[in-house]
Amino acid sequence: MAMTTRKIAFSIGEYYHVYSRGTDGRDIFLGDEDMERFIKLLFVANGVNPFVFRDFPVGMSYLKFERGGIIVAIGAYCLMPNHFHILIKETKDGGISMFIRKVLTSYSSYFNKKYKRTGRLFESAFKAKHIDSDEYLKYLFSYIHLNPVKLIDPKWKENGISNRESAIAYLNKYKYSSYLDYVGENRKEGVILNKSDFPEYFASFDEFKDFIDEWLKYKDQVQ
């Protein structure tokens, strides 16, 4: 089970970057099914109603689950083999801690049962950074969504991007982040996001695409 006890105090109306890794750096997603399970949890765990996945009727879409009022607002997310990132806003007192606890506890139980293991799956506590400026908040939309580029170009941040077009093409195929929801793809996972709770930095899908492209160019130019 993942513990969520921490020193940081979450405040209603404030934004945070939440992330966690597998214990000892281990992979926490071993295939598409695992990532899809975690993404489902981002939706069903964001509500006041309790849930147990095994009680879902066969064939029932998780989107039909009556989760009740949401307890956090999610602006962006990205899943990587051994960690995840979530851009999140506290909208209810204790909401972030409750949400992350539900997600990590449920996912750890699923993962351990599936792979016949015991013990902690995640690090002892999820990490969270308070976002204290508008500039930092906007930057995180690039930082979180550009994480998958490391899967095809591990040293791109240190050495510059080797092929910007290939990086963009890879992001356009990567299903396990909210990137596709910001470039205009109409998919069911879009309901996970609560965009209206975040500043409207991007007036159009093209503005977001340009924003991401500029960050890739910047990393290329500063080397």
The tally of domains found in the chain comes to 1
Task: Answer left, alpha or beta for residue 16, where phi above 0 means left and psi between -120 and 50 means alpha.
Answer: beta
Give the neighbor-by-neighbor strand order of the sheet with 72-80: 72-80, 83-90, 15-21, 127-130
In a domain, 139, yes or no: yes
Residue 4 has pLDDT above 50, yes or no: no
In a domain, 201, yes or no: yes
Question: From CA 103, how far away is CA 120, in angstroms rounded?
Answer: 14
In a domain, 177, yes or no: yes
Domain encompassing residue 159 = 15-221
In a domain, 3, yes or no: no
In a domain, 7, yes or no: no
* pLDDT score at 60: 72
Confidence of residue 106 (pLDDT cuts 50, 70, 90): very high
In a domain, 202, yes or no: yes
Q: What is the CATH number of the domain that holds 179?
A: 3.30.70.1290
Residue 221 has pLDDT above 80, yes or no: no
In a domain, 2, yes or no: no
Confidence of residue 150 (pLDDT cuts 50, 70, 90): very high
* pLDDT score at 162: 82
In a domain, 53, yes or no: yes
What is the chain's mean pLDDT, rounded? 90
* pLDDT score at 196: 96
pLDDT tens digit sequence for 43-98? 999 999 988 877 676 667 888 888 999 999 999 999 999 999 999 999 999 999 99
